[in-house]
Amino acid sequence: MTEFTLDKLPRKILSRIDLQTAFMISSCVVAAERLQVFRKLKGKRLSATAIGRMIGVRGWRAEAFLAALTAVGLLKKTGKLYSNTALTNKFFIRERSIFWTTRFSEACRREYRAFSVLEEMLTTGQSYASILGIDSGDYIEAMKKDQQWAHDFTYMLYYDHLPHAKALAKSLDLSGYHSVLDVGGGSGVMSMALVRRYKYIKACVLDIEPVTIVAKKIISKARLTRRISTTVGDMTKHIPAGYDVVMFCDAELGGVKTLKMVYDSLPEGGLVVFVDDFSSDDWTIPLYRLMWQLRSNSFWLKNRRQMVAMLRESGFKAVRSRRIYKDTWLLTGRKGLARRPRASRK
Ligand SMILES: C[S@@+](CC[C@H](N)C(=O)[O-])C[C@H]1O[C@@H](n2cnc3c(N)ncnc32)[C@H](O)[C@@H]1O
């Protein structure tokens, strides 16, 4: 998925956007996603009244809303009819799943609310949830309560992470290894790419139950059930042994304690793998991570240097890091000096 960064907008439109309108335009685009304007207009040319009827917006509000989307180059108006622009078809239809439209747009709304009370969060040390009197928005809790939520979230990440999975399979040398534990493995997208590249490798996706239910379906559709299994677990409590590679992709490690459990679970020569958008030393890249940290209630941001140090402190040797895709880094470390695992128990 290519990020829809502002440089994708036509220059003459971009030059008219100041910081205040940027926020309002962003809200318009997210509202359009919530109402599925672009998907409903796909391949069609319709009047404001017809679009308004489809999305439940009446009268001048529909006209003004569509004019706003036209002003930023996401809709085109020919006579009285609106249609998607090439930009919209690329970034909001072809390169995004319907799950992104539903889940990510909801996450954006939460971010807007959170950032609307940023000064208060900074000066009082309170969370935005307590300032606004809303629930904490913990995505794990949401998935545990609502299977549909887990389904959409897991599918969203499946599509979003296809390019990262491809990059991982290209970059990670697993020759000599046999079995991968994909911790917080979600849909299993990363495991799928690895077992496709290494025909002798088996993988197991460890995640919370609602996610493994979805993962099983995705893995079965991909005809990989013989090579990829799933297991329900909590990475902060237990890391099962029996794997010579333990991998975390975009999965919060949960601290040094988990890393120690990983170390103990691995055989001599076993490999720990991290794939994530680890921050630069000064935290400025990637920007979204710094923003997430800013609106969080505890400090969790780890830069690459800290991750490397943490791996070494936990006993891992031959710790390496390299950028494999956009802001995504691959970090690896080996248990002991043996180049390959001595005994693989799976
Ligand atoms: C951002 S997703 C990444 C999924 C997958 N690794 C990928 O790259 O697409 C993080 C995953 O970690 C799982 N997770 C979070 N905390 C967990 C825990 N304590 N134990 C097991 N899984 C956990 C979530 O349910 C979610 O599926």
Domain count across the chain:
3
Residues of the chain short of pLDDT 50, as ranges, are 344-346
Domain boundary among 140, 156, 172: 156
Please write the tens of the pLDDT for every residue from 144-165.
Answer: 999 999 999 999 999 999 999 9
Residue 264 lies in a domain: yes
Q: Is 87 exposed, middle or buried (0-12, 13-18, 19+ CB in 10 A)?
A: middle
Query: Do 213 and 331 reside in the same domain of the chain?
Result: yes
Phi, psi of 276 (to 5 degrees): -165, 165
For the domain that residue 14 is a member of, what is the CATH number?
A: 1.10.10.10
Residue 208 lies in a domain: yes
Residue nearest ligand 1's atom 16 by CA? 184
Query: Do 307 and 261 reside in the same domain of the chain?
Result: yes
Query: Do 281 and 188 reside in the same domain of the chain?
Result: yes
Distance between CA 33 and CA 69 in Å, rounded? 11
Atom number, ligand 1, closest to the C-alpha of residue 234: 20
Ligand 1 centroid–CA 250 distance in Å is 7
Distance between CA 4 and CA 32 in Å, rounded? 15
- Enter the pTM of the model: 0.94
Domain boundary among 139, 156, 173: 156
Residue 343 lies in a domain: no
Query: Do 273 and 166 reside in the same domain of the chain?
Result: yes
Query: Do 172 and 147 reside in the same domain of the chain?
Result: no
Residue 346: what pLDDT? 44
Please write the tens of the pLDDT for every residue from 61-114.
Answer: 999 999 999 999 999 999 999 999 999 999 999 998 999 899 989 999 999 999
Distance between CA 29 and CA 74 in Å, rounded? 9
Domain range for 186 is 161-335
Query: Do 148 and 171 reside in the same domain of the chain?
Result: no
Query: Do 85 and 123 reside in the same domain of the chain?
Result: no
Distance between CA 137 and CA 184 in Å, rounded? 19
Residue nearest ligand 1's atom 4 by CA? 186
